[in-house]
Amino acid sequence: MKKRLLAMLLAGAMCASLAACGGNSSGGSTEEPSGEAGGEGYSIDVILKTTASEYWGYVEAGAEAYMADNPDVKVEVKGASSETAYDEQQNMIETDLNSGAYDAFVIAPLQADLVKTLIAGKEMPIIAVDTDIDAPEVLSFVGTSNEDAAAEGGKAAVEAAQAAGWETIEAIAISGVQGDGTATARVTGYQKGVEEAGGTFLAEEIQYADGVADKAATCMEAIMQNHPEGVAIIVCHNDDSAMAAARAAKGNEAYANTIFVGFDGIQSACNAILAGEETMSVAQEAFDMGYMAVETAVNALNGETPEEFISSGASVVTKDNAQERLDTLKGYLGE
């Protein structure tokens, strides 16, 4: 009896998954002729780094909002299962480029150089979003450079540290995955911002926490060990790291006024900033990024030549504007 029930369950699951696959592929093939036939009814393929994170959820929401505003354009959003699933994204891009089902592509590359090889010689409009792809096939890059955004954060952090009464302003970075383009760009930006504003960036003491909270806590414990006197600014790869670092330093008097800078400005970061657990967060306008990237792709299909770089803007979230941002973000996800 048990076995029979199990067999039925399994068979049911298989049927369901087969049906789902079938549905997708037939949808794709019917899309193709309509896309090529008229000027209207474009089909845009949006391949993001991942869809499994809040930040990318906003890019996705932005891209889909364009579809809601322009019902004749069909937007399909997909992404790898994590920001380190390089192979997965490679396969995805390869499959979609060769499927002939899409008129234009919006790509946020996990590894820009790899994507450059994949798109070589393709004639459909290709737009890079979030992270630039240095290739002649790419018409436009929509985003903020991580470096510029981080530099804004670095400057704001130095100002905040001065306001908090720090005399020697030193900054240490808890970076993401070593060798990752985004992680490097953010650290470079932080360094630039901190130094421009008159602080000292301890480049020798960069820690790598892979953007993961518990590793960031470990790094923070080491920093406190090396600097019992306190450090004015801790700049982090993302909000997860910043919140964990701030938590690890909780209760250490020397770090009571330390400025913890995160990156992404997601909802929980806004809450943490309001609660005084993270000091500030550098936020890229992910929703606008998604929307503008699809818009640019459609304009290109309509024969316009887009600008090479379209800035989607960045801001620094502090206690003053966190509530406002939180409400906006909730609106994007329809909560």
- Interactions with another protein, residue window 110-149 (CB under 8 A): none
- The Cα 253–Cα 79 span in angstroms is 43
- The Cα 210–Cα 202 span in angstroms is 19
**Comparison of 90 and 267: residue with beta carbon closer to another protein:** 267
> Is 267 among the residues that bind another protein (CB under 8 A)?
yes
Which helix (H) or strand (E) segment is 154 a member of? helix 146-163
**Comparison of 183 and 297: residue with beta carbon closer to another protein:** 183
Stretch that binds another protein, among 30-38, 81-89, 184-192, 302-310 (CB under 8 A): 81-89
Question: Min. distance of Cβ 120 from another protein in angstroms?
Answer: 30
Beta-bridge mates of residue 76? 45
Query: From the list 110, 272, 280, 316, which residue makes contact with another protein (rule: CB under 8 A)?
Result: 272
Site string for another protein, 148-167 (x = CB under 8 A): --------------------
Contact indicator for 139, 306 with CB cutoff of 8 Å: yes
- The Cα 246–Cα 238 span in angstroms is 12
Give the 3-state secondary structure of residue 307: coil
> Residues 6 or more apart from 185 whose CB is under 8 A from it?
145, 146, 147, 150
Stretch that binds another protein, among 62-70, 191-199, 220-228, 279-287 (CB under 8 A): 220-228
Site string for another protein, 189-218 (x = CB under 8 A): ---------------xxxxx-x-xxx-xxx
**Comparison of 83 and 132: residue with beta carbon closer to another protein:** 83
Residue 237: closest CA among 148, 150, 133, 112: 150
- Interactions with another protein, residue window 19-58 (CB under 8 A): 50-54, 56-57
**Sequence-ordered strand ranges (E) for the chain:** 43-50, 74-80, 104-107, 126-129, 138-143, 170-175, 200-201, 207-208, 233-236, 259-263, 280-284, 309-311, 314-317
- Interactions with another protein, residue window 305-334 (CB under 8 A): 333
Stretch that binds another protein, among 80-88, 107-115, 140-148, 307-315 (CB under 8 A): 80-88
Instruction: Compute the Cα dihedral for 144, 146, 76, 96 and give only its sign.
Output: positive
- Interactions with another protein, residue window 229-248 (CB under 8 A): 239-240, 243-244, 247-248
Residue 153: closest CA among 314, 276, 42: 314
- Interactions with another protein, residue window 83-102 (CB under 8 A): 83-84
Contacts with another protein by CB under 8 A: the residue count is 47
Residues that bind another protein (CB under 8 A): 6, 50-54, 56-57, 81-84, 177-179, 204-208, 210, 212-214, 216-219, 221-222, 224-226, 239-240, 243-244, 247-248, 266-268, 271-272, 275, 277, 333
